[in-house]
A and B are shown apart, each in its own frame.
Chain A
Amino acid sequence: MIDTFRINFRYIILSTFAALAATMTFVSCSKDPIREQQVDPPDPPDSTITFSDGCFVLNEGNFNWGNASVTFFDYGTETVVDDLFNTVNKRSLGDVAESMNIFNGRGFIVVNNSGKIEVVSLTDFTSVKTIEGFNAPRYMEIIDSSKAYVTNLYGNISILNLKSLEVTGNIPTSDWTEKMIRYNQYVFVTSIGQFNQATDARHPKVYVISAKEDQIIDSIVTGKEPVGMVIDKKDKIWVLCTGGWDGVEKPALYRIDPNLRQVEKKYTFPSDGTVPSRLCINPGKDTLYFLNKGICRMPVTSTALPETPFIETSGSNLYGLDINPYNGTIWVTDAGDYVQNGKVYEYSPATGALLRSFKAGRIPSAFAFTAAD
């Protein structure tokens, strides 16, 4: 019995070796680079989509995964075009897309952790230029037809020439700067403090920049982490401070007079562990919106913070918020567990009713609108 086994085993061995060697050589010859793929690869946008009647959703993607993307939503056909930058330009957008501006028929996508701004044509979303030379850029503000400012995480405010699409200079600061608002010849910039410092060591403020001289000329002290800023119809600047990611202070909303450069009023949030975020304003510039366990809103004339959200959205992980500047609809994103594709919801500002929802990419966070919907 043992002998029979031995003979059989010899055959088995020989054929196993041969078969394995053949299989391995065969399967090893695939030449496609191994890169992240989608189970349902999105189609390139069809030619009927003009990008003139819809909104861009910026999916910031996971930090260090290089999976930021842009989704376009067409109001009329309700078509969702995923991964737009990649399908048109055959390369990925980069790592952590922070914000997008529209100017002169072009989209400017600020890609924070890739240290660049991708400029695309809004007729077909083809890449016009990749601008480099930032310090982890955050937001961009158009100053005039030829100049824009870009805030950075690791210091300096970059001056961008909108014609040559190059960084032409810096407004020096060692601070992490965030949101900007242009008011007359001045630009107000929120500053969180030095990036590499702990929250209690940071000196948060709003810088005042003279746009003529590209220089910081003044500053206004605020609460910790002023991450949001809008200007209302009475030319009052509203600054939302989180109080620090680690809760060093209570979150607060500041009202600043940009002429006197002074804090006029401070609304303090209760310290229940929740932190408001994403301060926005409606097109009429008389109502503030922000996220705080739901979508909250507050007339600029209000003497107190809203006690309950305007729209309750239990169960979802609200992440991004914006108001369509053309007609005031409320757009909010749900990042899910941050490791899956997120969702976008549109609500009516009149009734708070859900108007539309659709799926977007990984961690949808910001919007750029091209028209009323």
Chain B
Amino acid sequence: MLRISKYGISPFILGCLFLCPGILHAQKIADTLKLKEFEVIGNYPVNNNGFKKVRIDSTILVQNLNADLSTLLSKYSSIFIKTYGNGSLATPSFRGTSAHHTQVEWNGISLNSPMMGQTDLAILPVSQFDGIEIIYGGAGLFNSSGAFGGIINLVSEADWNNRLNIDLAQSFASFDTYKTTLNVASGTQHFQSLTKANFSTSLNNFEYNNTDSNKVERQTNAACHQYGLSEDLFFRMGRKHFLSLKMWYSNNYRQIPPNISSENIYDPEEEDKSLRGIVEYKFLEKKYNITVRSALIDDYMNYRDSVEYIHKYYSSVNRIRFNWVGIRNLTIKPGIDFTYDLVDSDSYEDVKTRTNAGLFGEIVYDASKKIKLSLVLREDLVDGDLMPFTFAGGIQYKPLKKFNWSMSANVSRNYRMPTLNDKYWYKSGNPDLKQEQNVMVEAGNVFNFLTAENHLFMEGELTGYYSWITNLILWQPTEGNSYLWKPVNLATVHARGIEAGITLKYQIRKWAAGLNSNYTYCRSTNEKSEATTQDQEGKQLIYIPVHSFNSTINAGWKTFYVTYNFVYTSRRYTGTDNETYMPGYNLSNIFFGKNINLKNIILSLQLEINNLFDLDYQSIVDRPMPGRNYGITLRGQFKK
């Protein structure tokens, strides 16, 4: 077993899928709700046309400026984050699917490695992004194929009214953790520059209770250092031409700590370096517009213990979109995509490439004031092979004039290509793998409400979905050779669930209060197939909680604020026979802050307590998590 794990990728990763809740309010009605009275413009409506897209409240981004994306999403979103420990590998999963079925995108460009087919959220700092969009299920087809769960899109945006904004923050936190971020935005009405830099270092040597030896021990070999630098340039020439250039370099080093009951003979460590760039040009006319976008990614990963493995990949992602509006309430958006990946890995026998050319079409039809329809069609040609035809169709119905209440439904068909590791990993890869297939239906409704004096805003959302996944790729020992594991299209998984969310915002005189709660129910089960053993049929996939809930309450008085965040995760099975499990747990986190407003400067001080009740827990079997821990952030913002 040991040797297999050494050379292969863990075969179990594929089976590990999740779900969880969030501070997002879903499916905002596309009406404009002016919330000027509220301090923060959060959760602004996202045009949905029958699909679920939400945006994380910007207050949350500000309070978690120095966090990484996995921490942020695990506290506030309905995406389940499977984390191997503080700062260690953390992968997303929603709607009962695996990390491979969640696409993480940076301004629409996939960050999922073509090798692994997934993204590690622990090395993405929140301060790099101006907004986080979460796109659920079939809605992902508007961006790309393969995201059966959905897409997390990390956005950088220009504020054309900005002239100069300098934002410097320094955090000091438990376990010798220090983080610095500097964001500088400057420009005119025609030109904006965003410069972002972040640096962080942590020993991460937290204490944990080793329930085997009944001793308190310290996590070893867990340090991490990372820095990142990005530059975004936005140009606006007249009213018709928009050009943007974005560059982002990140460098991460981390040690990989042992699990509790093993001992590291060689201390493993990993280095990830990525350089990404996007050029985008937009030409706007009254009746049509054209967007041309081209991106390059250069990614380097070095893993070493007693042996060193280097994995490199280069991706070129290109997209052209046309957009015709106003032809009888019809918007038509045809487009072409072209992606080229090149992988040079110590674990492949030679350099491997993949080309993907796609034709894309999107139609939005405003049938009436009450009904909107949308349809997206996509056909990809991967390495010369025609992929399954994919589509998503949605309908939005808004029955009442006086209330912002809308109902949505959609159906989609999607596929996911095997990763290049699945196909070409040394000796194990299976070039004959087929695509995984997915059909999903979804229905939901959302309403929101704003009182006449704008004291109170309320929003509620309820969505249900059912998803059928077939040809799911599993790694398993080849017949007659338990030493050699290979990926095979074997499993059938059915995932269904309910997502519910509520948001309240209340403001009167010098007081402000807000509440956001999300609940998800998800049954994701192994169905009868070639691969199933009798003991796993109909059983919940491992590491996917059936129930998850999170809630964030914040209150503000003048310049003081407090935020209380609560996350509940139900039992997660650790065996496909559902005979073993990790018990459910809940975590509480709290923030206190104070802003000092000077002329052009806002100074703020924030105290953060994570795991408030010092819960002794593990998220993954045998991987320790820290107890109560603290952080202080000092921040200065200069605005002109």
Interface residues in chain A, defined as those with a beta carbon under 8 Å from any beta carbon in chain B: 2-3, 5-6, 9-10, 13, 16-17, 20-21, 24, 27-40, 60, 62-67, 91-92, 94-96, 112-115, 135-136, 153-154, 195-196, 242, 245-247, 272-275, 277, 292-293, 317-319, 335-341, 362-363
In the assembled complex, the Cα of A39 lies from the Cα of B306 at a distance in Å of 38
Task: Provide the bound-state CA to CA distance between A38 and B571, in Å.
Answer: 11
**Cβ 8 A contact of A66, one of B11, B259, B482:** B259
A29 x B262 contact (CB < 8 A): no
Closest 10 pairs between A and B when the two form their complex, measured CB to CB: A274-B480, A66-B261, A34-B617, A66-B622, A340-B577, A246-B427, A245-B483, A196-B306, A275-B481, A33-B616
* Chain B neighbourhood of A63, CB < 8 A: 1-2, 4-5
Inter-subunit contact A34/B480 (CB<8 Å): no
Would A245 and B577 be within 8 Å (CB), given that A275-B481, A275-B484, A339-B542 are in contact? no
Q: Which of B46-54, B94-102, B365-373, B578-586 faces chain A?
A: B578-586
Q: How near does chain A come to B610, taking the closest CB pair, in angstroms?
A: 13
When C-beta atoms are compared, the residue in chain A nearest to B263 turns out to be A115
A317 to B533, CA, bound (A): 10
Given contacts A246-B426, A336-B535, contact A34 B477 (CB under 8 A): no
Most B CB contacts (10 A, CB to CB) among A40, A113, A274 go to: A113
CA distance A28 to B480 in the complex (A): 49
Provide the residues of chain A in CB contact with B621, threshold 8 Å.
Answer: 36, 65-67
* Count, A-B residue pairs, CB within 8 A: 216
Contact surface of B with A, Cβ cutoff 8 Å? 1-5, 7, 11-12, 15, 209, 211-214, 259-263, 265, 306-307, 426-427, 449, 451-452, 455-456, 458, 476-484, 504, 506, 513, 515, 517, 531, 533, 535-536, 542, 551, 553, 564, 566, 568, 574-583, 585-586, 588, 612-613, 615-618, 621-622
- B261 and A95 form a contact (CB under 8 A): yes
Residues of A within 8 A of B480 (CB): 272-275, 292-293
Question: Are B580 and A39 in contact (CB-based, < 8 A)?
Answer: yes
Contact: B213 with A35, CB < 8 Å? no
A and B contact pairs by CB, cutoff 8 A, 24 listed:
A3-B452, A6-B456, A13-B456, A13-B504, A16-B504, A17-B553, A31-B616, A32-B583, A33-B209, A34-B582, A36-B580, A36-B618, A37-B583, A39-B581, A66-B262, A66-B622, A67-B574, A242-B483, A245-B483, A247-B484, A273-B480, A275-B481, A337-B476, A340-B577
A291 to chain B, nearest CB (A): 8
A36-B582 in contact (CB<8A): yes
Q: Which among A5, A38, A66 is the interface contact of B451 at CB below 8 angstroms?
A: A5
Closest to A25 in B: B588
A135 contacts B265, CB within 8 Å?
yes
> A28 with B449: in contact, given A36-B574, A36-B582 (CB under 8 Å)?
no
A96 and B2 contact, CB distance less than 8 A: yes
- Judge whether B212 and A340 touch: CB under 8 Å: no
Closest partner residue, chain B, to A138 (CB atom): B2
Q: Are B1's CB and A17's CB within 8 A? A: no
- Docked CA distance A202–B588 (Å): 52
Given A6-B451, A64-B262, A293-B480; A13-B574 close (CB under 8 Å): no
Inter-chain contact A337/B536, CB cutoff 8 Å: yes
Residue among A27, A36, A114, A336 making CB contact with B581, cutoff 8 Å: A36
A28–B612 touching, CB < 8 Å: yes
The residue in B531, B568, B575 that gathers the most chain A C-beta atoms within 10 A of its C-beta is: B575
CB of B542 within 8 A of CB of A64, answer no
Known: A37-B580, A95-B622, A339-B12. A273 touches B481 (CB 8 A): yes
A63-B5, A66-B212 known; 16 other A-B pairs, CB under 8 Å? A3-B452, A17-B553, A20-B515, A34-B585, A34-B617, A38-B580, A63-B1, A65-B622, A67-B622, A115-B262, A115-B263, A246-B427, A274-B481, A275-B484, A337-B531, A339-B12
Measured between alpha carbons, how far is A29 from B586 in the docked complex, in Å? 9
In the assembled complex, which residues on chain B have CB atoms less than 8 Å from the CB atom of A338?
Answer: 11-12, 476
| CB–CB B579/A33 < 8 A | no
Chain B contacts of A115 at CB under 8 A?
A: 262-263, 265
Asked if B581 and A112 sit within 8 Å, CB to CB, the answer is: no
> Considering residues B262, B588, B618, which has the most beta carbons from chain A within 10 angstroms of its beta carbon?
B262
Closest A residue, CB atoms, query B582: A36
Question: Once the chains bind, are A64 and B259 in contact (CB under 8 Å)?
Answer: yes
Contacts of B263 in A (CB 8 A): 113-115
Known: A24-B551, A154-B265. A37 touches B581 (CB 8 A): yes
Residue of chain A at shortest CB distance from B6? A195
Q: State in angstroms the CA–CA spacing of A2 and B455 once bound together.
A: 13
CB distance from B165 to the nearest CB of A (A): 34
With the chains together, A38 CA to B582 CA distance in Å? 9
CB distance from A157 to the nearest CB of B (A): 16
- Residues in B with CB closer than 8 Å to A337 are 476, 531, 533, 536, 576
Kindly list chain B residues whose C-beta atoms are within 8 Å of the C-beta of A20: 515, 517, 551, 553, 566
Known contacts A16-B515, A34-B583; A275 and B483 CB within 8 A of each other: yes
Whether the pair B452, A339 counts as a contact (CB closer than 8 A) is: no
Give the docked Cα–Cα distance between A60 and B482 (Å).
14
